[in-house]
Amino acid sequence: MFADKLILRIPGPTPIPPRVQQAMNHPMVGHRSGLFSNLFVKTAERLKPIFGTEQDVYIIAGSGTSALEMGVVNTLQPQDEAVVLVSGAFGERFAKICERYGIIAHRLEVPWGDAVTPELLAAYLQDKPQVKAVFATYCETSTGVLNPVRELAQVVREKSDALFIVDGVSCLGAVECQMDEWGIDILVTGSQKALMLPTGLAFLAASERAWKVIEANQAPSFYLDLRAYRKSLADRTTPYTPAVSLIFGLEESLNMIEEEGLPQIIKRHELMRDMTRAAIQALGLPLMTADRYAAPTVTSVNPQGAFDPEQLRKTLNGKHNVVIAGGQGHLKGKIFRIGHMGYCEPLDVITVISALEMSLKQIGADVELGTGVKAAQEVLINHV
């Protein structure tokens, strides 16, 4: 096997397109130069359709978690109350960030693998009039659930005066998102998922409603103070040193997104989801999520003791150069997850399913070779 032909199918970081890699090799430029200013402002503007907003999108040199923390620290004060929707590890992360800043986090928890429904949220908000923000995860990476944020946003508007703050790290750029129309107040994402970039950039947009709260809030942070980013963007720059090479890569990634078109990108991800799920079901393996809430970017499988998921992952990597993800939190060692987002197309899914079948056979699982591949192929062939 060729070491440089690693097939990376985890839910992030995701593979980098060669043309994006090449763009990042651009000779270094001054981060306060006119050349970089023009590049930075243009790329920030071009992010707006991905968010579904007319608001400015701020680019932060940091991981997606830095933007999650921004959403907390810029809107809430110690002892403020918030509701955090927890359907997996990243909903729990939002709650932990809140608690680190002394915020009272009311967890609305559902079993991992389930989605938070509008009905559950409406009932939960009834006796919590003091809540100032509701935090949700659009795609819960740890389980493969796509929470219904459009409907959840409507509930927040109808049942409270709270801000609605959404983690879109694992799906933005691969799913429909209309931040302004749906009533999302703060939306964040990261570079290393559907945007086809290395780790290191985070992105955040805030509604006018959110900005009224942010301007009145005493953010106990220096680097994550959103007001500094707003002021600097108006001056066509950043408050602190940006990740220059990643911005060159972002420009090329946006070129690719615009060439394919967001509607087609969304359809491609839905197709890859459907192919993967059909294959897993044909192999007789239990999926963690219901079809209705299945994420187009990652599929989680719970073999329920039929075999060791970690042995499967080790075999996939060692014998076939394919890397998939394991479980997180209490699911560590119990499930496996297949990422299918960003620089990924239907034939890549066929390759991974084929390697998965061989690896299952090699660890002694009761599968028939070709069963999953056939099911995925049929979905692809019948796709209109």
* 212 and 359 housed in the same domain: no
Among residues 258, 279, 303, the one where a domain terminates is 258
How much is the average pLDDT of 100-112? 97
By the 8 A CB rule, do 163 and 75 touch?
A: yes
Chain centroid offset of residue 4 CA: 26
What are 262-289's pLDDT values in tens digits?
999 999 999 999 999 999 999 999 999 9
Was 337 annotated as part of a binding site? yes
CATH number of the CATH domain containing 72 = 3.40.640.10
The model's pLDDT over 332-352, given as tens digits with 9 standing for 90+, comes to 999 999 999 999 999 999 999
Tens of pLDDT, residues 134-192: 999 999 999 999 999 999 999 999 999 999 999 999 999 999 999 999 999 999 999 99
Instruction: State how many domains the chain has.
Output: 2
Separation between Cα atoms, residue 146 and residue 170, nearest integer Å:
10
One domain for residues 291 and 369: yes
Residues 204 and 273 in one domain: no
- Same domain? For 199 and 280 the reply is no
Q: What is the CATH number of the domain that holds 302?
A: 3.90.1150.10
Both 190 and 319 in one domain: the answer is no
Listed residues 224, 258, 292: the one ending a domain: 258
pLDDT at residue number 358: 98
Same domain, 291 and 202: no
pLDDT band for position 220 (50/70/90)?
confident
Range 198-227 average pLDDT: 95
* Domain termination site, one of 258, 286, 320: 258
pLDDT of residue 3: 76
Q: What angle do CA 182, 188, 189 make, to 5 degrees?
A: 115
Are residues 223 and 296 both part of a single domain?
no
Q: Are residues 98 and 69 in the same domain?
A: yes
Q: 330 and 306, same structural domain?
A: yes
List the 104-109 sheet strands across, edge first: 57-61, 201-206, 186-190, 163-167, 131-137, 81-86, 104-109
Q: Are residues 269 and 361 in the same domain?
A: yes
Name the residue among 33, 62, 58, 50 with its Cα closest to residue 243.
Answer: 62
Cα dist. 135→165, 238, 288 in Å? 5, 27, 23
**Which structural domain, as residue segments, surrounds residue 72?**
18-258
* CB count in 10 Å sphere of residue 236: 13
Give the whole-number percent of the chain exceeding pLDDT 70. Answer: 99
What are the structure tokens assigned to 118, written together?
A: 């509008």
Structural Rg of the chain based on CA atoms: 21
The verdict on 215 and 293 lying in the same domain is no
**Is pLDDT of 222 > 80?**
yes
Asked whether residue 176 falls in the same domain as residue 278, the answer is: no
Q: Is 34 exposed, middle or buried (0-12, 13-18, 19+ CB in 10 A)?
A: exposed
Q: Nearest 5°: phi and psi at 311?
A: -65, -40
Using the predicted structure, report yes or no on whether residue 1 has a pLDDT greater than 80. no
How large is the average pLDDT for residues 319-341?
A: 97
Would you state the pLDDT for residue 384? 63
Round the average pLDDT of the chain to a whole number and report it. 97
DSSP summary character for residue 116: P
Q: Indicate the residue type of 275.
A: M
If we measure between CA atoms, which residue out of 117, 122, 178 comes closest to residue 146? 117
Query: What is the predicted pLDDT for the residue at 45?
Result: 98
Q: Hey, how many other C-beta atoms are within 10 angstroms of the C-beta on 338?
A: 25
Burial of 292 (0-12, 13-18, 19+ CB in 10 A): exposed
